[in-house]
Amino acid sequence: MQQAIGKYRWVIATLLLFSTTINYMDRQVISYLKEFFCTPRDKGGFGWSNADFSYVTSFFTGFYAGITIIAGWVIDKIGTKVGLALSLIIWSIFGILNSIAGSAVSLHVVMRSLFGIGEAGNFPASIKTVAEWFPKRERALATGFFNSGSNLGAMIAALTVPWMMTYWGYTHGWKMAYIITGTVGFVWLIFWFALYNPPSKHKKLTKEEYDYIHSDDEVATGKEPETVKIKARWSQLLKYKQTWAFFFGKFLTDGVWWFYLFWLPDYLKKQFGMTGKEVMLPTFVVYGIAIFGSIFGGSIPLIFMNKGWHVYKARMTAMLIIAVFPLFVLTTQYFGNTDAFGSSAAFLSVAVICIGAAAHQAWSANLFTTVSDMFPKKAVGSVIGIGGMAGGIGGVLVQLVAGRLTDHFAATPKIAYLIMFIFCGLAYLVAWVIMKSLVPRYKPITDL
């Protein structure tokens, strides 16, 4: 059947994969610059504290969160083609301009905040694109596929940024890291405009594939349902428990991923005494393993659906299974004890974090898809924006706590990271319970 109907929708998913890769590559740069930023001035660094670093990443996350809700609404209005392109242009420009910020924390806060405004559009636009281009049964898989770009981007940053710092040195390395990664996005724009249009306007899309994409719509017509102007206000969307289920799912778990992104290199350096170049391999492995979690996690509901399960039951069952795996993260500091495990401690600790990172990506692929399961396509971008805001708020809080804890326990950083890993391990089960309590049964929104 798949051969007969065509596969152009997967070309679109691949474009989203690369935009997300660029999004996270640009985002991840700063975590590998932390050591330089926090090196004392008399040793060539900026002399920042851990709290200073957390302010920069938190302001980025805060602006990312605040703008996400607006970005979702704008993308629902102007469409995914222009919306995603505009988003990438903004974040690429300010990513490059971050190279002129100097050593002042305040200037980095400003540049990273403006950068966050652009980055905020990627996921609302991508999830809406998946809703436009895939039937419900394939959306989690397609989301998992493009969402694996967040790991690819982090992996690329893990390999390139430490190398840039070594090749160009402290003085120029951090600037080149921002300039080079920020420039890549403009190459992607060429392919986006050449290959993308909405399904109803795409000349390469066969009628068979178009009908398959809309096979679970009430009526498959020549007019795209999602092009109808959304009339629902945010105040209307917030009256639905389905919105709040997504809100709390993002609020409680997004911060875990922000923590892995911005603090994992610091953890490896403080816990095991690794250098900047030595953290390249373990962080590369963590994000590489997470790719499998993203893609496999998106396929789990399909296993249940193929057995005749309803989409919501299949989705929530998959998410419950996935939520169990982060509990392994509770053992991170146990296995990271070098006195007990010697040279194997770093390997064991990273292995546990790999499980947590893969579980997060599997969770995220399904969490995003709950929105397109419940809401009409015309409202997907706005609801994703609301959830993105919630996830960003959670991310700000997690990063501020991480900064304060690592400063407070400067002499014993293992304690600070133990506290953080306890939160990372428990967040998903707590989120699942809240989501299931709010929406115990499948109830799609039909009155928007």
- pLDDT score of 222 more than 50: no
CATH architecture, domain 2-197+234-435:
Up-down Bundle (1.20)
- Per-residue confidence band for 229, with pLDDT thresholds at 50, 70 and 90: very low
Residues 109 and 51 sit within 8 Å (Cβ to Cβ): no
- pLDDT score of 1 more than 50: no
Query: What tens digit of pLDDT does each residue of 302-333 get?
Result: 889 889 998 889 999 999 999 999 999 999 99
Residues 86 and 122 sit within 8 Å (Cβ to Cβ): no
d(CA 334, CA 380): 42
- Per-residue confidence band for 218, with pLDDT thresholds at 50, 70 and 90: very low
- Per-residue confidence band for 445, with pLDDT thresholds at 50, 70 and 90: confident
Among 110, 86, 84, smallest CA distance to 97 is for 110
Handedness of CA 305, 308, 311, 315 (dihedral sign): negative
Query: What tens digit of pLDDT does each residue of 286-303 get?
Result: 988 988 888 888 788 888
Query: What tens digit of pLDDT does each residue of 330-382 get?
Result: 999 999 999 999 989 999 999 999 999 999 999 998 998 888 888 887 788 78
What percentage of the chain reaches a pLDDT higher than 70? 95
Mean pLDDT across 407-416? 94
- pLDDT score of 421 more than 50: yes
Mean pLDDT of all residues belonging to the chain: 89
Q: Which helix (H) or strand (E) holds 380?
A: helix 377-408
- Per-residue confidence band for 111, with pLDDT thresholds at 50, 70 and 90: very high
The whole-model pTM stands at 0.77
Mean pLDDT across 416-422? 97
What percentage of the chain reaches a pLDDT higher than 90? 62
- pLDDT score of 232 more than 80: no
